[in-house]
């Protein structure tokens, strides 16, 4: 029964308000006796004023009404119903019914349902690969066990997350507990927020004695650093085989590189196998984990899985190109290879052994054997190019255009020249002259001993200012290429002090989207011989390389990713391919056409068109992407690759691999996983038993109703009626006074 209480929330003392009311009434009475005529009009005016004062007094008290209502809150009782395909099976031949039929019998013909429906809010949550929306018992006939997988752990967690903060009397779990997502069964041992009543839908039994081994999962980083080893964890599972050991092979590009013997108990189980992967080169590596077919094994399509690992450079790639080795290039290359923040490559031009009249690129140091050609494709793999002492004849028009395009698209170029590069027949005679930060006649270098000082721009430069690793005072140099006149937009970072004045030594400018730095001396290498522990030469170049390194988006503006919703599916199950195109933040997304090609196990290439659609990122956020659906019709390993053309440039994704098995693990006949079912009941404080035992336990379930007292407040002054009365009383008094010509 609701109870009502009147409350007054006036902050001013009630006695003070009452005194004010009495004073107002006295004033009204005196004014009426003194000034109003003794007539009906006077009485009406006095009445209106008194009513206004009483209404105003009511408002000042801030009255309200508080009602208390006690509600009976019924707890919820949930049925978590497995609708996956394995529920349509039965491994117990004596049962004469499937697991699904056993679950329906428990829901439709039991007395516990009638009892709990009267004292609880009753809901049924179907699940397979995910938790579905709740339904009522009258809608059970619309459900069929057709789910492609069983994600019991995921669905339980989603259920309790969705019902967080609500009163639960218990959860009835109707499933075979054959979770196709989890590698181990230990997840069932965790604590659960409410008792779980778990029905044994069939008698537990042993699997078939026939061997059936499979590769369940491969866990390894899909991106690795060149030169670093990574670990691969492989989960193998199966039953049969009489407990005898079998081989698990690791293949790389089709060649066996490792193998290990594994032994599983005859009743079945799983084990994790560890492999060590070496990544000596940059590129994509394809690994296959395979279990050779055992004698008597029938299902063999799940005996292998394939993964692709992308091997990347550890740091930024820096390319140093030199004509003939000299002292400057010798010490500079050493400084590059000592810098752990980059991955350097250095090539020198030497007469070709096949044709002495031509030159070929020779790799420096331990990178010998690498093949290099000065093409846009090979230049685009780097962030910085350092060009040594070349003359115009050594730089063909194709080479110059490749370097120009590299800088225009965001790459950085350091010109570390000498007499040939800065001479009259040097870079100024090539197409690269347009990116030079200065103009200069090709005069020889001025030789001597010249002090080097930072310019005002150099001291204020973000790469050099207040940097403790950059020497405040630079050592002298022994040569300067004088006569440089800075171009528009160029600035000098350092100058050499000569008798004829200061001459630019380090000159920089922006060209296109990239940076250019020119070094107008060929004697920086003498800094290596500077006495003392302070090593200005490597510190200087470390800071310069760090400053010149463009951000990732400067070089590779667009990045296309392709991934699938599942690494392993069955024939006939759709594979959902999702693509994501990463673009620069300041660019507007356009209606690009993304295509996808799938290579089947029989080497057929199937083209697909990806439709623009919102996809879900890993963190749950929705992002624009592309989606294509493909239904495989043959088992084996599939390879998918997406491409998009932007401004005439083809952007390609890394390969996306997925495995198709002839039969889904969901439909492989297995007995119920009573180990998981018992663990769920035990860890939650619930009950595990046959349908009859669960029926009896639920009939004896004591459900305690919770009473909740709700308070409801209603204002008695802050209403349109009270406000309208105040305005109406004042208005009516004013109208009467005007009509009677009363002031």
Per-residue confidence (pLDDT) for residue 679, from 0 to 100: 92
Torsion on CA atoms 48, 50, 55, 58, rounded to nearest 10? 180
Q: How buried is residue 594: exposed, middle or buried, by Cβ count under 10 Å (0-12/13-18/19+)?
A: buried
Q: Where are the beta strands (DSSP E) in 138-267?
A: 168-174, 196-199, 212-219, 223-225, 230-239, 246-252, 255-262
Same domain for 454 and 507?
yes
Single residue among 286, 308, 330 that ends a domain in this structure: 308
CB contact at 8 A, 180 and 78: no
Per-residue confidence (pLDDT) for residue 137, from 0 to 100: 86
Per-residue confidence (pLDDT) for residue 618, from 0 to 100: 43
Answer whether residue 469 shows pLDDT above 70.
Answer: no
Same domain for 333 and 421?
yes
Answer whether residue 241 shows pLDDT above 60.
Answer: yes
Same domain for 85 and 198?
yes
Where is average pLDDT lowest: 254-263, 395-404, 687-696?
Answer: 395-404
Per-residue confidence (pLDDT) for residue 368, from 0 to 100: 43
CB atoms within 10 A of CB 107: 18
Single residue among 508, 526, 551 that ends a domain in this structure: 551
Q: Characterize 347-359 residue by residue with b for buried, 16 or more Cβ atoms within 10 angstroms of its Cβ, and e for exposed.
A: bbbeeeeeeeeee
Same domain for 684 and 617?
no
Measured between alpha carbons, how far apart are the two ends of the chain, in Å?
55
CATH assignment of the domain containing 382: 3.40.50.880
Per-residue confidence (pLDDT) for residue 101, from 0 to 100: 92
Taking residues 589-602, what's their average pLDDT? 90
**Could you tell me which of 84, 101, 351 has the C-alpha nearest to residue 201?**
101
Per-residue confidence (pLDDT) for residue 264, from 0 to 100: 84
Provide the pLDDT confidence category of residue 209 given band limits of 50, 70 and 90. low
Taking residues 201-207, what's their average pLDDT? 77
Helix or strand (DSSP H, E) at 122: strand 121-127
Q: Give the tens place of pLDDT for each residue, 499-556.
A: 888 899 999 888 877 889 999 999 888 888 877 666 788 888 888 887 777 654 444 5
Single residue among 500, 525, 551 that ends a domain in this structure: 551
Per-residue confidence (pLDDT) for residue 2, from 0 to 100: 62
Same domain for 393 and 531?
yes
Taking residues 398-404, what's their average pLDDT? 87
Q: Give the tens place of pLDDT for each residue, 731-742.
A: 888 888 888 777
Listing DSSP states for 524-549 in one string gives GGGGGG--SS--HHHHHHHHHHHHHP
Percentage of the chain surpassing pLDDT 70?
89
Where is average pLDDT lowest: 104-108, 374-378, 462-466, 592-596?
Answer: 462-466
Provide the pLDDT confidence category of residue 249 given band limits of 50, 70 and 90. very high
Answer whether residue 367 shows pLDDT above 50.
Answer: no
Q: Give the tens place of pLDDT for each residue, 597-615.
A: 999 988 899 999 999 888 7
CATH assignment of the domain containing 695: 3.40.50.410
**Of residues 182 and 509, which shows the higher confidence score?**
509
pTM of the model: 0.47
Q: Give the tens place of pLDDT for each residue, 131-167.
A: 999 998 888 889 999 888 888 988 998 899 899 888 8
3-state SS of 182-217 is: CCCCHHHHCCCCCCEEEECCCCCCCCCCCCEEEEEE
Same domain for 676 and 659?
no
Per-residue confidence (pLDDT) for residue 680, from 0 to 100: 94
Cβ within 8 Å of residue 258, ≥6 positions away: 249, 250, 275, 276
Same domain for 224 and 106?
no
Q: Give the tens place of pLDDT for each residue, 418-430.
A: 888 888 888 888 8
Q: How far apart are CA 410 and CA 382, in angstroms?
A: 11
Provide the pLDDT confidence category of residue 99 given band limits of 50, 70 and 90. very high
CATH assignment of the domain containing 573: 2.60.40.1930
**Could you tell me which of 465, 517, 521, 525 has the C-alpha nearest to residue 497?**
521
**Could you tell me which of 220, 78, 92, 50 has the C-alpha nearest to residue 162?**
78
Helix or strand (DSSP H, E) at 58: helix 40-60
Taking residues 187-206, what's their average pLDDT? 88
Taking residues 663-667, what's their average pLDDT? 70
The torsion angles phi and psi of 493, rounded to 5 degrees, stand at -90, -35
Same domain for 339 and 279?
no
Same domain for 97 and 182?
yes
Same domain for 381 and 407?
yes
Same domain for 412 and 325?
yes
User: Hey, CA dihedral for 481, 485, 490, 491, is it positive or negative?
Assistant: positive
Write out the two tokens for 631.
Answer: 């239904």
Domain count, the chain: 5
Q: Which domain holds residue 613?
A: 559-666
Per-residue confidence (pLDDT) for residue 369, from 0 to 100: 41
Per-residue confidence (pLDDT) for residue 223, from 0 to 100: 65
Where is average pLDDT lowest: 52-61, 155-164, 207-216, 317-326?
Answer: 207-216
Same domain for 628 and 513?
no
């Amino acid at each position: 029964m609701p109870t009502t209480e009147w409350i007054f929330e006036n902050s001013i003392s009630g006695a003070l308000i009452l005194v004010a009311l009495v004073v107002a009434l006295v004033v009204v009475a005196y004014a009426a006796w003194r000034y109003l005529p003794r007539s009906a009009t006077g009485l009406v005016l006095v009445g209106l004023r008194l009513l206004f004062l009483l209404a105003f007094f009511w408002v000042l008290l801030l009255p309200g009404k508080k009602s208390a209502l006690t509600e009976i809150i019924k707890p919820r009782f949930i049925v978590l119903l497995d609708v996956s395909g394995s529920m349509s099976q039965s491994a117990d031949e004596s049962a004469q019914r499937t697991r699904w039929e056993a679950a329906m019998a428990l829901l439709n013909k039991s007395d516990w349902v009638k009892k709990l429906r009267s004292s609880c809010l009753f809901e049924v949550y179907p699940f397979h690969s995910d938790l579905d929306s709740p339904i009522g018992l009258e809608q059970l006939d619309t459900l069929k066990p057709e789910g492609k997988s069983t994600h019991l752990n995921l669905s339980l967690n989603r259920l309790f997350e969705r019902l967080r903060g609500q009163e639960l009397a218990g959860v009835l779990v109707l499933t075979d507990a054959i979770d196709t997502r989890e590698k181990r069964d230990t997840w069932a041992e965790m604590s659960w927020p409410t008792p779980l009543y778990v029905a044994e839908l069939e008698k537990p039994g042993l699997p078939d004695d026939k061997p059936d081994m499979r590769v369940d999962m491969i866990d390894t980083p899909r991106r690795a650093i060149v030169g670093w080893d990574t670990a691969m964890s492989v989960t193998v599972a199966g039953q049969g085989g009489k407990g005898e050991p079998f081989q698990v092979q690791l293949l790389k590009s089709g060649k066996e590189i490792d193998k290990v013997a594994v032994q599983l108990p005859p009743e079945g189980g799983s084990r994790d196998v560890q492999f060590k992967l070496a990544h000596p080169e940059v590129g994509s590596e394809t690994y296959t984990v395979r279990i050779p077919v055992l004698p008597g094994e029938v299902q063999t399509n799940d005996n292998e899985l394939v993964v692709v690992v992308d091997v990347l450079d550890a740091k930024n790639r820096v390319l140093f190109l030199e004509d003939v080795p000299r002292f400057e290039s010798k010490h500079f290359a050493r400084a590059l290879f000592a810098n752990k923040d980059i991955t350097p490559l250095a090539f020198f031009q030497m007469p070709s052994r096949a044709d002495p009249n031509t030159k070929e690129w020779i790799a420096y140091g331990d990178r010998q054997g690498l093949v290099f050609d000065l093409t846009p494709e090979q230049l685009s793999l780097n962030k910085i190019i350092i060009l040594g002492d070349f003359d115009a004849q050594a730089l063909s028009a194709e080479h110059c255009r490749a370097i120009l395009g590299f800088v225009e698209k965001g790459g950085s170029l350091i010109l570390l020249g000498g007499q040939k590069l800065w001479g009259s027949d040097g870079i100024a005679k090539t197409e690269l002259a347009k990116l030079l930060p200065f103009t200069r006649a090709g005069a020889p270098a001025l030789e001597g001993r010249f002090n080097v000082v930072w310019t005002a721009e150099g001291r204020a430069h973000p790469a050099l200012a207040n940097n403790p690793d950059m020497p405040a005072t630079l050592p002298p140099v022994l040569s300067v290429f004088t006569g440089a006149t800075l171009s528009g937009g160029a600035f000098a970072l350092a100058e050499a002090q000569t008798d004829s004045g200061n001459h630019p030594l380090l000159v920089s400018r922006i060209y296109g989207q990239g940076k250019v730095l020119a070094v107008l001396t060929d004697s920086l290498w003498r800094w290596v011989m500077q006495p003392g522990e302070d090593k200005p030469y490597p510190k200087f170049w470390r800071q310069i390389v760090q400053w010149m390194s463009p951000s990732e988006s400067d070089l590779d503006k667009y990045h296309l990713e392709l991934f699938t919703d599942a690494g392993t599916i069955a024939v006939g199950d759709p594979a959902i391919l999702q693509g994501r195109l990463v673009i620069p933040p300041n660019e507007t997304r356009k209606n690009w056409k993304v295509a996808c090609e799938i290579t089947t196990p029989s080497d057929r290439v199937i083209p697909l068109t990806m439709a623009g659609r919102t996809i879900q990122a890993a963190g749950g956020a929705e992002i624009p992407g592309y989606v294509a659906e493909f239904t495989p019709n043959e088992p084996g390993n599939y390879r998918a690759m997406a491409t998009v053309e932007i401004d005439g440039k083809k952007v390609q994704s890394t390969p996306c691999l997925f495995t198709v098995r002839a039969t889904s693990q969901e439909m492989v006949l297995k007995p119920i996983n009573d180990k998981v079912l018992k663990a769920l009941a035990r860890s939650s404080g619930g009950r595990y038993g046959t349908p009859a035992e669960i029926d009896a336990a639920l009939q004896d379930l004591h459900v305690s109703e919770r009473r909740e007292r709700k308070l409801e407040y209603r204002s008695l002054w802050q209403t349109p009626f009270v406000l309208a009365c105040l305005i109406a009383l004042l208005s009516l008094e004013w109208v009467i006074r005007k009509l009677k010509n009363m002031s």
